[in-house]
Amino acid sequence: MESLLPMIIQLVSGAVGGNAAGAALKNLSLGNTGNSVVGAIGGLLGSMAASGQLEGMIGNIVGGGAGGAILLAIVGFIKKSMAKK
């Protein structure tokens, strides 16, 4: 269970970060479900990248939220660019 808790924190903080980015960047939003899914994936990736920089639960939360927001912005930008063509 102890190894599962950081992953759950990463997924939840990533989903929150993705939804926050979707609300802030309306033109890149993927809808609530899309924002949550992309944010959760970004949360896992972001926390892995931040794990060497920040320690413990704070690293999981910050890395997850930032990773979720960044991945949402990237996917939203790609989707918007592809829709124009």
Q: What's 48-82 look like in SS3?
A: HHHCCCCCHHHHHHHHHHHHHHHHHHHHHHHHHHH
Structure tokens at 40: 């959760």
Instruction: Provide the whole-model pTM.
Output: 0.85
Interval 3-54: pLDDT, tens: 788 889 899 999 999 999 999 999 999 999 999 999 999 998 887 776 666 6
- pLDDT at position 76: 92
In angstroms, what CA-CA distances link 84 with 13, 61, 78? 31, 35, 10
Burial classification of residue 51, based on how many CB atoms lie within 10 Å of its CB (0-12 exposed, 13-18 middle, 19 or more buried): middle
- pLDDT at position 54: 66
Confidence of residue 61 (pLDDT cuts 50, 70, 90): confident
- pLDDT at position 58: 84
